[in-house]
A and B are shown apart, each in its own frame.
Chain A
Amino acid sequence: MEPYKKHESIAALMNRSNVDTDQIIPKQFLKKVERSGFGVHLFHDWRYNDDGTDNPEFELNKPAFKGARILVAGDNFGCGSSREHAPWAIADYGFNTIISTSYADIFYNNCFKNGILAIKATKDQLDKLMAEISANEGVRFVVDLENQQVITPAGNGFSFDIDPFRKGNLLSGLDDIGLTLKHEDKISQYEQQHKQTYPWLWV
């Protein structure tokens, strides 16, 4: 995983709530056995017309949002299916930051496993960011994870909370499994005790 660095980028606006993972990556694209190449299918059913051309009505197709790395979206983003193809598609498309008021649990976990910073804003903070983008499409925000800051030209920035463990992993790009295996002795110890307490699970 790439370490997450402070960056300035265009912020794209998706003013919809309850965006579900079936929309983020529709099921017809879940048959691949690789992790890569899902970006072209991100939001497929909204993004493309039936003939495969771009749907100009879809917000992320606006020229002003091209190259955006920050996605500002409505409440309860990423609800529904657990498919990790959703954050794979988001990251492959080019986003590394999402800002919303809330996320579905599984999706939220999946983001951090894939180098995506999912920032939780208050309703008021989010409304202000959305208004700033609407008034000035193509506006660039700065995201500074180290200092937990979002900075915007119109001064609608804010500082955000994040679990220190998730923050550390994003900043270092560390692999979760490697971290867990540092506790190998404790896992083995637990397993020995588990065999004694629940012997029927080991026959």
Chain B
Amino acid sequence: MKKTMYEKIWDSHLVVDATGQAPLIYVDRHLMHEVTSPQAFEGLKLSGRKVRNPHSILATMDHCVPTKNRDLPIADPIAKIQIETMAENCRVNGLNLYDMKNPNNGVIHVVVPEHGFVHPGMVVVCGDSHTATHGAFGALAFGIGTSEVEHVMATQTLPQKKSKTMQVVVNGKLSKYASAKDIALAITGKIGTAGGTGYVIEYTGSAIRELSMEGRMTLCNMAIEAGARAGLVAPDEKTYEYLKGREFAPSGQYWDQALAYWKSLPSDEGAVFDATVTLDAADIAPQVSWGTSPEQVVGVDGCVPAPESFADEIKRTACESALAYMGLTANTKITDIPVDLVFIGSCTNGRIEDFRIAAEVTKGTHVAKGVTAIAVPGSYHVKQQAEDEGLDKIFIDAGWEWRDPGCSMCLAMNGDELTKGQRSASTSNRNFEGRQGKGGRTHLVSPAMAAAAASAGHFVDIRNL
């Protein structure tokens, strides 16, 4: 029988499939951060259970950490307790933790690939919905709740319902400055935030093969924004090249053995998907979200839609309330929308490639009057790499703030946030009401689009620069 990649990974990880019970699947890698783990450790302790395979876990601190003045004590006492709890839980259980002061520290989904901790064919979980990022390596990676974090620590398995499969085919060539982020936003716009519910998406087509590993991570990262359990890209030479030589990648005699296994993973020719969605990369303009859901997006050459343009009543009502919250008028040109703050960073767009393209657009410009622009590398390694390439200087000379790594304004837990009514151009993944601060208005864009908005003070069509 011909199998999709998802089915191959599922079958090879099935531990128990008994009637009357959810199938149990084996978990190879478990990623952790400080926000969704403390109650799981508490539960484990109360029930007298132990972490089954400490070597399967890699932990970091990212959500609550300050992105400046790291040498000072954390000002927020509750965040401080959470950070200290994480350190203590990892110490007691013998887990590998990249704490705030560690040179490997950064956003979990940026740090993990840097160290080659996820490989093709693995099952990977984390108490974080953006775990889907690691599907870029051909691993089945998905977010779980805290009860499930505890379950995986205790048993190395998870009861799971098998998902349906969706193939998203993107053929053709992206226009200049259109990126993986724009593909991700365009897909969410096309199928909606519930379009992928119950599915695992596999991204295929020539435009996907063309993407770098960083681009594939950006794309898979936002599979959850389309409602999917996970996103997958079949491994290829780029994947193997990326992994080779990294700390947790197989080496020596094991490399060839692992490689042979990885090459067996891509979906069989003629394997059947439960659904297929097709996009042409050439049609994807740089995207800007205009509303309070990642499906509310439009090309930068478009306008804010009018509620009456939606035939569906639910979408029409959602548009009305989004426009009210966002302080936008229907039919306003996207390029006429001003911004107050620009954020480049997050597990979606906090990698070296993102800062390279943003620096290219920023070089020789200056942040517009009244605009604050912050660049937050996804990890200390990204920060170092950028500094080695002189990118930090380009941002600083242009009036940007060059920060330490963390989730920062993606979810605004660490004090970096919008004030009421402030409008951002943000390379993060969610534009929900209040996501970047109560009353804050978020527009999701690519790093190149964010950089262009910083110097112009409003959105610009970077294809015309």
* A, B co-complexed: yes
Q: A residues within 8 Å of B by Cβ?
A: 17-18, 20, 22-23, 26-28, 30-35, 45, 74-76, 79-84, 87, 102-106, 109-110, 113-114, 163-165, 168, 175-177, 179-181, 183, 186-187, 190-191, 194, 198-203
Q: Establish whether residues B433 and A22, one from each chain, have CB atoms under 8 Å apart when the complex forms.
A: yes
Q: Which of A34, A79, A81, A186 contacts B39 (CB 8 A)?
A: A34
A60 to chain B, nearest CB (A): 16
Q: Please, which residues of chain A bring their CB within 8 A of the CB of B434?
A: 22-23, 26, 45
**B interface size (C-beta, 8 A):** 69
Q: Which chain A residue has the least Cβ–Cβ distance from B49?
A: A177
Q: Establish whether residues A176 and B159, one from each chain, have CB atoms under 8 Å apart when the complex forms.
A: yes
Q: Which chain B residue has the least Cβ–Cβ distance from A26?
A: B434
Q: Establish whether residues B15 and A187, one from each chain, have CB atoms under 8 Å apart when the complex forms.
A: yes
Q: A33-B39, A74-B314, A177-B47 are in contact. Are A183 and B24 (CB under 8 A)?
A: yes
In whole angstroms, what is the CA distance A183 to B254 when docked? 30
Number of inter-chain CB pairs below 8 Å: 174
Q: Please, which residues of chain B bring their CB within 8 A of the CB of A163?
A: 22, 161
The 3 closest A-B pairs by CB, nearest first: A200-B250, A200-B254, A113-B147
Which of B73-81, B101-109, B276-284, B448-456 faces chain A?
B73-81
B193: CB under 8 A from chain A? Answer: yes
Q: Please, which residues of chain B bring their CB within 8 A of the CB of A183?
A: 15-16, 24, 157
In whole angstroms, what is the CA distance A22 to B442 when docked? 14
Q: Please, which residues of chain A bring their CB within 8 A of the CB of B150?
A: 177
In whole angstroms, what is the CA distance A190 to B23 when docked? 14
Q: B residues within 8 Å of A by Cβ?
A: 15-16, 20-22, 24, 26, 28, 35-36, 38-39, 42, 47, 49, 55, 63-64, 76, 78-79, 81-82, 85, 119, 122, 127-129, 142-148, 150-151, 154-157, 159, 161, 193-194, 197-198, 227, 229, 250, 254-255, 257-258, 261, 293, 314, 317-318, 411-413, 430, 432-435, 438
Q: List 24 A-B contacts (CB under 8 A).
A: A20-B432, A23-B434, A26-B434, A26-B438, A31-B413, A32-B78, A45-B433, A79-B227, A82-B128, A82-B144, A83-B35, A84-B145, A102-B197, A109-B144, A109-B145, A163-B22, A165-B22, A168-B20, A176-B151, A177-B49, A177-B155, A180-B159, A187-B155, A201-B122
